């Protein structure tokens, strides 16, 4: 099975195009406080080139109900990614997938569908303990995040055997500014790692 590759924190249409052309299976748009934060309207306009087979992910953190509704109505995401405890208080249509975020050091359910596993703080480039993550990866479809980039994603895939990998800050020339070369190198390295599993 191919590893899902997600490029997160996109803010420009060119970088969305770069990710798609390089083979990303998901593209993430951040609606939480971050150098990568974007409005639902802009996210909609720069993601209109995304083909159906690529998931458009709304990345949030402890969203107010009104903020989630604005993202839902204006951006129309395929996936909502937010901390697991946030999901209980939100109205999420059946056609929107949920990717709960579970953080290193906190309790993770025994079985779950697709979920994101990362460090205590999102977007900080903090690598999680891959050995511990490998033990959790069999519980569901783990999307491994945290400190992944072109230089270490292949090792992460070989060690953890995740369903997917997710990168953001390591693909930037400065905070919030994606780098086309790094996007392509990350996806290429992830895809190359798949061939040797």
Q: Which residues are catalytic?
A: 8, 110
- Other CB atoms within 10 A of residue 91 CB: 8
52 SS3 class: coil
Half-sphere exposure of 178 (CA within 13 A, CB side): 26
Distance CA 151, CA 140 (A): 26
Beta carbons of 54 and 25 less than 8 angstroms apart: yes
Give Cα 87 to chain centroid, integer Å.
17
- ∠ at Cα 162 (10, 71), nearest 5°? 35
Distance CA 24, CA 51 (A): 11
Element (H, E) at 153: helix 153-160
What are the Cα distances from residue 177, in Å, to 60, 66, 150, 156, 168? 19, 28, 16, 24, 10
């Amino acid at each position: 099975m191919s590893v899902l590759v997600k490029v997160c924190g996109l803010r420009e249409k060119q970088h969305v195009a770069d990710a798609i052309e390089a083979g990303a299976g998901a593209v993430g748009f951040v609606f939480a406080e971050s150098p990568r934060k974007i409005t639902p309207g802009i996210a909609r306009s720069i993601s209109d080139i995304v083909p159906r087979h690529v998931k458009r992910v709304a990345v949030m953190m402890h969203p107010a109900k009104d903020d989630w509704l604005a993202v839902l109505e204006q951006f129309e995401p395929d996936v909502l990614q937010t901390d697991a405890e946030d999901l209980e208080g939100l109205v999420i249509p059946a056609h929107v997938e949920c990717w709960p975020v579970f953080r290193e050091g906190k309790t993770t359910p025994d079985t779950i569908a697709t979920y994101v596993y990362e460090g205590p703080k999102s977007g900080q480039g903090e690598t999680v303990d891959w050995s511990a993550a490998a033990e959790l990866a069999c519980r569901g479809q783990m999307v491994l995040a945290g400190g992944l980039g072109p230089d270490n994603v292949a090792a992460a895939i070989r060690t953890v055997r995740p369903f997917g990998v997710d990168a953001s800050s390591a693909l930037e020339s400065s905070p919030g500014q994606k780098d086309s070369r790094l996007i392509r190198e990350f996806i290429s390295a992830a895809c190359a790692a798949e061939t040797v599993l």
